[in-house]
Structure 1
């Protein structure tokens, strides 16, 4: 039987990855957590789409919740997560920054207030080694904007060519890659003779690690189901 005084035990599914190492560093600085490779209270997976089923199977076998921070997941992966969430708590997060979670909430509210006459464009930049585009965070922000409008996301990605006309109600995405950028996101609301730009800048990967710890602590003891970083910030 665990008590509130005991540290939350984290099992890292990919401990040698960038995020795995960052989370281990964050744990070392926080007495409220400890790494336990085999008997964690929660599994944290920042690996690759091909490893998703293995991490879900591990969480299901141990009957513990799992934080899925892997990006680039397809519809089949989403169905796998939904199936696992019938038995365990699953938090899926394209970005574990608490600031980005708040940004998503602001984007949804802005889209609701401003209405469809304001065009929405999302610009993101990441380091040169990132393999998926648009980023999972950018797509999540697009989903937030679509929810604010009461519609499904209609994405225009990577425009190229001539005589291109913006589709009414679409949300545009542009991706930049280079250097060691941890993650920049701008959501641009372009209206008649004015623009509103909501932005987030990740200066260090540790912000994602600290957010992942907050999400992991949130998950412990939660009933089966799918959760998001919005649930985490709502509980703070």
Structure 2
């Protein structure tokens, strides 16, 4: 069986290094490229330098020449970088895995347009556990339409987008189960609001502190009882493992925008 050829973006970052580590130990994948921004201290170093492994693949700030030889790109970087590479991937008919979060609505529209030309898997969280949680939240909302849903998330102090993409996806799952619009019912702050909670509000609370990898709780409260569904990530390994599953999936698909629910057959 031919191995799936993979390029990792953001190669010197914590997530990039985890992806490289998992890729080079996966019998179905082969690392053919590693990218980082111009001026990075990692340029021209071996992709496995920071994890003590030799891959014979150098981290480069220009990998355009590798795109036509690649089966899948895995990207956990920033929205501006992702959109730049998506265009190149579309031109080269290369499938794409997006773990980047923080996109604006207009940027999400662009991603949808690119998915008409290449298969893309996009998910705010690639973790298998989180995606099972998403399914559980939607089912709970279907069964408990009279209950109140609140999403509480915590991440490390360096994370810039809030609420997290995962928190928003969990809120969307609740909205889908309740058959309501998240856009119309989401509440991101209650400071300054002198009114009681309205029916169908989906509230979000954000914590940024220390080195928290990622914690998400959906609180489902009724009269006299509450349910709390929680996922706690203790390592980025679960995100990397899910991303590799996504890369294997999209490498054999026709152009479309997929999510991890489809990759994991949860739909």
Give the TM-score taking structure 1 as reference length. Answer: 0.94
**Which structure has the larger Rg?**
2
Which stretches in structure 1 are left out of the alignment for 5+ residues? none
Name the counterpart of 1:187: 218
* Unaligned ranges ≥5, structure 2: 34-65
Which one has more relative contact order, counting CA pairs under 8 Å at least 6 apart? 1
Match of 2:28 in 1: 32
2:81 corresponds to 1:48: no
Q: Would the aligned equivalents of 1:13 and 1:55 in 2 still touch at CA under 8 Å?
A: no
In 1, the alpha carbon distance for the partners of 2:136 and 2:7 equals: 32
The number of equivalent residue pairs is: 231
Q: CA deviation at 1:15?
A: 1.7
What does residue range 1-236 of structure 1 map to in structure 2 within 5 Å? 5-37=1-33, 38=66, 39-115=69-145, 117-153=146-182, 154-161=185-192, 163-234=194-265
Query: Could you tell me whether the CA contact under 8 Å between 1:124 and 1:176 is conserved in 2?
Result: yes
Query: Aligned partners of 1:226 and 1:13: how far apart in 2?
Result: 20
Deviation at 1:162, TM superposition (A): 5.6
SS in 2 for 1:24: helix
Task: Write the distance in 2 (CA, Å) between the matches of 1:233 and 1:92.
Answer: 13
CA RMSD of aligned residues (A): 1.5
Runs of 4+ in 1 over 4 A off after TM superposition: none
Q: TM-score, normalised by structure 2?
A: 0.83
Instruction: Give deviations 1:101-133, integer Å, cap 9, x for gaps.
Output: 111011000001111x10000000001100011
Change (3 A) 1:170 1:162: closer
